[in-house]
Amino acid sequence: MGLLDVFKKIEPDKKKSPVLHTFYDAVFTFAFSPDEVTTGKGVHVRDGMDLKRTMIHVVLPLGILVLLGAYNIGHQHFLAQGAYGGVLEGFGLKFLYGFIKLLPLIIVANVVGLGIEIITAARKGHAVEEGFIVSGALIPLIMPPDLPLWILAVSVAFAVIIGKEAFGGTGMNIWNIALLSRVFVFFAYPTTIAGDNVWVAGYEKLAPGESTDYGFFINKIVNPVLDLFGSAKFEAATIIDGFSGATPLSIAAKEGWDAVLMQYSEAQMFWGLIPGSNGEMFKPLIILGAIFLIITGIASWRIMLSMIIGAAVTAMLLNAWGASPMMDVPWFFQFYMGSFLFAMAFMATDPVTASSTNTGKWIYGIIIGSVGMIIRAINPAYPEGWMLSILFANTFAATIDHYVVQANITKRLKRA
């Protein structure tokens, strides 16, 4: 008996168990590509590519960032103790600790988000479109590792219900769902996501002498297992003197570029392994992910390039102004700090919430790059700007397309 036969045999009754059947249908269509395509007549696209397989193309590069993000969580945790300072020192413990921190975020985000989508689809009587697949991968990468899980659950529920299902579901939402979840936490529970403390896991606050308590799971379950294999285990320790956990952005906002270079090298900022959001760390892999999305046709190169142009030109103008420490950062190194590249590759290019016309994509990307750089350099309370700038541009994406189309209509009418 083949796998397909097994799936068909366990299919629940749609009328008796609509929610269960909707869940089954989501799993089935995820596991198998469509077996029906349009006929050979006409100009229809004849392909087995559907929304789920399109989403998987985005999740693939994100999966690598999830693994590296887990390692960086552990790396920053042990750096605070002054232990395992080398990149490969304590590799297993670092990855295990980060995985223990990151896995609950992934599970909660996807259970809540997909659960709401399945229930909503069952009530409407249609299949799950599963646009949340990408959002479920993005959200853990942009949230602090110690974020309380109940706050994460509430933020995801808000983003999916208010930002998506209220507008009609996948393809109808105005704002990027992952960013809407993050902005909910940012405004509703700012102390859990703002500041330097939140990006180093395992401590109530980043102060010399502050100790860590690994809790029941690590002390009573993980450590005994590590003992069985004779491996190094987690041992409570305190934060060493001189460790701050400050991100390059927070240093630049307060003291300028020279102060950043005193703590982090340009190579460290480019290759990662510094405090910050999990997804933004490893710039080379983000760039490769962006190239992959462009080659596969999933993301628009016009949005990416125009966003770079908008940010670069604005940063040059701010360099000339020089009215704040952040404005003194050389424009090129603005791309090394923070989440610009990650936002450019995986957030701004969301095909649902971005502009659709080619001309509109240029305008849309320039707006994000310019507004985001202005927020980063001028706003004293928030030295980063891509979350707010992308949501701002999302709001006007349809308006931009409308005027682009109207301009084309007017131009053609004049020729007629």
* DSSP symbols for 192-210: GTSSSGGGSTT-SS--TT-
Q: Is residue 402 part of a domain?
A: yes
Q: Are 337 and 385 in contact (CB under 8 A)?
A: no
Query: Could you report the per-residue pLDDT of 232-276, keeping only the tens digit for each?
Result: 889 888 998 888 888 899 899 989 999 999 999 999 899 888 898
Q: Which of 205, 233, 264 is the last residue of a domain?
A: 205
Residue 206 is predicted with a pLDDT of 79
Please report how many Cα atoms fall inside a 13 Å half-sphere around the Cα of residue 127, on the Cβ side: 13
Q: Which two tokens stand for residue 32?
A: 């198998």
Q: Please give the Cα distance from 343 to 341 (Å, whole number).
A: 5
Domain tally, the chain: 2
| Domain final position from 179, 205, 231 | 205
Residue 270 shares a structural domain with residue 411: yes
Residues 190 and 113 occupy one common structural domain = yes
Q: Are 115 and 136 in contact (CB under 8 A)?
A: no
Q: Is residue 185 located within the same domain as residue 266?
A: no
134: domain range? Answer: 8-34+51-205
Q: For the purposes of burial, counting CB atoms within 10 Å of the CB of 286, is it exposed (0-12), middle (13-18) or buried (19 or more)?
A: buried
Task: Based on the fold, state whether residues 182 and 263 are members of the same structural domain.
Answer: no
Phi, psi of 99 (to 5 degrees): -65, -40
What 33-42 contacts at long range (C-beta under 8 Å, 24+ apart), as own/partner pairs, is: none
pLDDT at 198 over 60: yes
Q: How many helices (H) and strands (E) does the chain have?
A: 17, 0
Decide which of 43 and 399 is more confident.
399
Residue 249 placed within a domain: no
Rounded to 5 degrees, what are φ and ψ at 67?
-65, -45
In whole angstroms, what is the distance from residue 44 CA to residue 46 CA? 6
182 vs 171: which has the higher pLDDT: 182
Lookup result for tokens 């990662």: 272
C-alpha–C-alpha distance, residues 303 and 386, integer Å: 14
User: What pLDDT is stored for residue 46 in this prediction?
Assistant: 56
Q: Are 247 and 276 in contact (CB under 8 A)?
A: yes
What pLDDT score was predicted for residue 20?
72
Nearest to 139 by CA among 114, 156, 117: 156
Is residue 401 predicted with pLDDT exceeding 70?
A: yes
Separation CA 200–CA 70 (nearest Å): 12
Res. 303: pLDDT tops 90: yes
Structural contact between residues 54 and 298, judged by C-beta atoms closer than 8 angstroms: yes
Integer Cα distance of 159 and 411 in angstroms? 39
d(CA 287, CA 284): 5
More confident residue, 122 or 307: 307
pLDDT-based confidence at residue 381 (cuts at 50, 70, 90): confident
> What is the average pLDDT across 336-348?
92
Contacts of 338 (CB under 8 A, 6+ apart): 247, 248, 249, 276, 280, 376, 383, 384, 386
Cα 276 from Cα 338, distance rounded (Å)? 7
- What are 40-66's pLDDT values in tens digits? 666 655 555 566 667 777 888 898 999
The last residue of a domain, from among 143, 171, 205: 205
User: Which of these ranges, 51-55, 197-201, 334-338, 380-384, has the smallest mean pLDDT?
Assistant: 51-55
pLDDT score, position 157: 95
* 200 and 287 housed in the same domain: no
8 Å CB contact between 65 and 134: no
178 within a domain of the structure (yes/no): yes
Higher pLDDT, 64 or 213: 64
Domain-located, residue 353 = yes
